[in-house]
Amino acid sequence: MSNTAVVVGAGRGIGQAIGEDLARACPGDRLILADIDAALVERVAASLQAQGVEAIARHVDITDEKSVQELVDETSDADRVAIAAGVFDSSPSLEVTVADFERILRVNTIGCFDVARRYAAGMAARGGGSIVAVASVAARMPRMRQAVYSASKAALRQSLRVLAMEVAGSGVRVNTVSPGPTDTEMMRQLASDHATVDDLADGSLLAFRPRIPAGRVARGSDVAAAVRFLLSPESSHILLGDIVVDGGELLGM
């Protein structure tokens, strides 16, 4: 295993938690933190550097093929890549615009898939690696006012399964992690049906949202731990997988 890991979408939320988790678990590794918000990811990297971690911040726009390829070229030795970039939208299906649909798909599906396939190509040529992308339980369970977001995550999950089949013979593993409600800035946007993010754990009949049996929403660290496992050699026989981190909201379905 090389000593270089890449986290795309590391400026905040789950992506930041993944970067921080990898830094704690593998303090001697070179950690590339990439995000469209250069200033934000620079602050995350600086915080880790202050702890003695070799954390390097890079700007990337995953909707720009050239930007993605530049990042992949610069980190061509990476054999662990986590993809946590994403955008969220909540609009009634009768009101969502085609432009909004295309914008969300461009980031959550096409952009994330492009990152995965470009890294997978290099890993396949070098004989192996692991890629994990953050999907969502919204890919499995319909969510009120989330037709676009749910579609984008379902498409990402399935497209990466196909990619996983195609590169498995070259030693490359591709998996996803599907969080349920997680206490992040993006989730706070979603919590309009509830007084606070924590109240999402109680469910809502009005929003057709089930109660979370664990009694709380996830923390970024909960999701990061699952990502780290899938990136590690300990998960060497897991591919095309999707680990659900939802506190039991989907009831195991």
Q: Are residues 119 and 71 in the same domain?
A: yes
Model pLDDT, residue 176: 98
Q: Do 21 and 227 contact (CB within 8 A), yes or no?
A: yes
Model pLDDT, residue 149: 95
d(C-alpha 217, C-alpha 105), whole Å: 26
Q: Do 75 and 4 contact (CB within 8 A), yes or no?
A: yes
Q: Which amino acid is at 109?
A: T
Q: Are residues 44 and 62 in the same domain?
A: yes
Q: Are residues 113 and 159 in the same domain?
A: yes
Model pLDDT, residue 206: 59
In which order are the strands placed within the sheet that holds 172-179? 54-59, 30-35, 4-8, 80-83, 129-134, 172-179, 242-245
Model pLDDT, residue 51: 95
Query: Which tokens is 236 given?
Result: 């060497």
Q: Do 87 and 103 contact (CB within 8 A), yes or no?
A: yes
Number of domains in the chain: 2
Q: Are residues 140 and 200 in the same domain?
A: no
Q: Are residues 47 and 106 in the same domain?
A: yes
Q: Are residues 44 and 152 in the same domain?
A: yes
Cα of 101 vs its chain's centroid, Å = 19
Q: Are residues 86 and 211 in the same domain?
A: no
Q: Are residues 57 and 111 in the same domain?
A: yes
Arithmetic mean of pLDDT over the chain: 92
Is 253 domain-assigned? no
Over residues 120-141, the pLDDT tens digits come to 999 999 999 999 999 999 999 9
| Residue span of the structural domain in which 195 resides | 183-217
Q: Are residues 225 and 239 in the same domain?
A: yes
Query: Which residue stretches of the chain have pLDDT < 70?
Result: 1, 185-206, 208
Which among 149, 172, 182, 217 is annotated as catalytic? Answer: 149
Model pLDDT, residue 181: 86
Model pLDDT, residue 215: 87
Is 149 assigned a catalytic role? yes
Q: Are residues 73 and 196 in the same domain?
A: no
Over residues 180-208, the pLDDT tens digits come to 988 876 655 555 555 566 666 666 655 76
Model pLDDT, residue 29: 94
Q: Are residues 18 and 63 in the same domain?
A: yes
